[in-house]
Amino acid sequence: MSEKITNWAGNVAFRAERVERPSSLEELRALVARSGKVRVLGSGHSFTRIADTPGVLVSLDGLPMGIEIDEDGTGVRVTGSVRYTELGPRLHDMGYALHNLASLPHISVAGSCATATHGSGVANRNLATAVSEIELVTADGDLITIDRGDERFAGAVVGLGALGVVVGMTLDVEPTYEVRQRVYEGTMRFEALDDHFDDLLSAAYSVGLFTRWRGPYLHQIWVKERVGGDAPPAAPGLFGSPAEGTRGNVPALLGATLADGPRHPIPGMSPVHCTEQMGVPGPWHERLPHFRADFTPSAGEELQSEWMVDRRHAVGALHALAAVRDRIAPVLQITEIRTIAADDQWLSPCYGRDSAAFHFTWVADVEAVLPVIGLVEEQLAPFEPRPHWGKLFTVPAETLRTRYERLPDFRKLARDLDPAGKFANEFVDEYVLSE
């Protein structure tokens, strides 16, 4: 490969023989048809080798960008090169919105959906659940469409890039809305969550809990509330609605107060790149992510892992991790705990169960972090965690495959659409396609 390409964090150097950037759909179809092994590189924000290949690595950044609202105003069609930083403002300007966004908006729509990336909220499902139709270039260069009426649909959207090249998607939209964001801080002991975890996480449209594992407590709660008459109801009285610019208290059992200024999730870091806080309402795409769209990370001085467990076991999982916090803290930047509603997508980590997600942003030291990842997985093992496909994990493949009951159906779908395994790679073969 004449050019050396790594992922965003720099922990993966892609082994492709070459990188191709087709400039038209016709060029892409011809490229796929004549190539041996093919994988698509999205925004490069995955920390695993999910996008790696010994063959051709395809970037869709050269394809024309398309964002079009359906005639009936219920969906938006986006091309495979679109990122949420481009989609969010365009939708808002047209009067529309998505149901949720991830914490970082710089990721590609197609890649995010393919890996079941998510935002937060007890009633909010992962980003891929907004997809109503998907357009794929298959192994022989054909263009096919799979929609919600197709029996293959539940396996096609979270496809890990193993079924073809996603060149178009239609996403559900709704009328645009505003969100206000507040950060609460203090020393909130884990024990306070024993009887109040569900109350706390359902107290607003999206809630994130942060800990550095420096003690048995949380240090921040990020609360995102939808504004307006169409906002979903929230648990009454837990946060209240303090006046802008003033401090307000959550119940004493949490021991937290409203931050008196903007905060970064990692204490001591400047909040300049974070989305606006202090209860100031703003468009959904400028509040649901934690980080601003006009801040484009050039390199990631971090590694990431995330595991989803059944939400019923969230408190037990929290205490299991707290038991080894002295091993976690030295190699950690921050942990966020969020919730995601259940879905029916075969390879989604939230398939069939309302989930709690434990997200870890580690220091950028693979050798130091990997043993701790194994320890975290050992502590979470009784709760049958499912890791995020695009973040670091060490769960043995034979164990992980037992946690996806629809894997046989996905394997059949992959054989039907890609019988020669053109879009497979070592990662997909090991964790998904092997029996």
Q: Are residues 115 and 238 in the same domain?
A: no
Each residue's pLDDT tens digit, 22-81: 999 999 999 999 999 999 998 888 999 999 999 999 999 999 999 999 999 999 999 999
Q: Which amino acid is at 102?
A: A
Q: Are residues 219 and 89 in the same domain?
A: no
Backbone phi, psi, residue 68, to 5° = -135, 130
pLDDT band at 231 (very low <50, low <70, confident <90, very high): low
Say what the pLDDT of residue 253 is.
47
Q: Are residues 229 and 319 in the same domain?
A: yes
Q: Are residues 273 and 376 in the same domain?
A: yes
Q: Are residues 214 and 326 in the same domain?
A: yes
What domain range includes position 301? 179-387
Q: Are residues 250 and 187 in the same domain?
A: yes
Say what the pLDDT of residue 241 is.
46
Residue 255 lies in a domain: yes
Q: Are residues 246 and 343 in the same domain?
A: yes
Q: Which residues contact 195 (CB under 8 A, 6 or more apart)?
A: none
Q: What is the pTM of this model?
A: 0.94
Among the three residues 176, 211, 241, which one is the final residue of a domain in this structure?
A: 176
Q: Are residues 160 and 274 in the same domain?
A: no
Q: Are residues 222 and 353 in the same domain?
A: yes
Among the three residues 117, 150, 176, which one is the final residue of a domain in this structure?
A: 176
**21-24: Cβ within 8 A, 24+ apart:** 21/58, 21/59, 21/61, 21/62, 22/58, 22/60, 22/62, 22/63, 23/62, 23/63, 24/63, 24/64
Q: What is the DSSP string of 178-227?
A: EEEEEEEEEEEEGGGGTTTHHHHHTSSSEEEEEE-SSSSEEEEEEEEEEE
CA separation, residue 4 to residues 12, 15, 19, 200, 426 (Å): 11, 9, 9, 46, 20
Among the three residues 156, 176, 196, which one is the final residue of a domain in this structure?
A: 176
Residue 282 has pLDDT above 50, yes or no: yes
- In the chain, the number of structural domains is 2
Say what the pLDDT of residue 91 is.
97
Say what the pLDDT of residue 258 is.
86
pLDDT band at 187 (very low <50, low <70, confident <90, very high): confident
Residue 3 lies in a domain: no
Q: Are residues 200 and 311 in the same domain?
A: yes
- Average pLDDT of span 158-180: 97
Q: Which residue has the tokens 């949380």?
A: 218
Strand partners, 175: 96
Q: Are residues 207 and 318 in the same domain?
A: yes
More confident residue, 311 or 43: 311
Altogether, the residues listed in the chain come to a count of 435
Q: Are residues 222 and 98 in the same domain?
A: no
| CATH number of the domain where residue 119 is located | 3.30.465.10
Residue 183 lies in a domain: yes
Q: Which two tokens stand for residue 30?
A: 């011809």
Say what the pLDDT of residue 249 is.
43
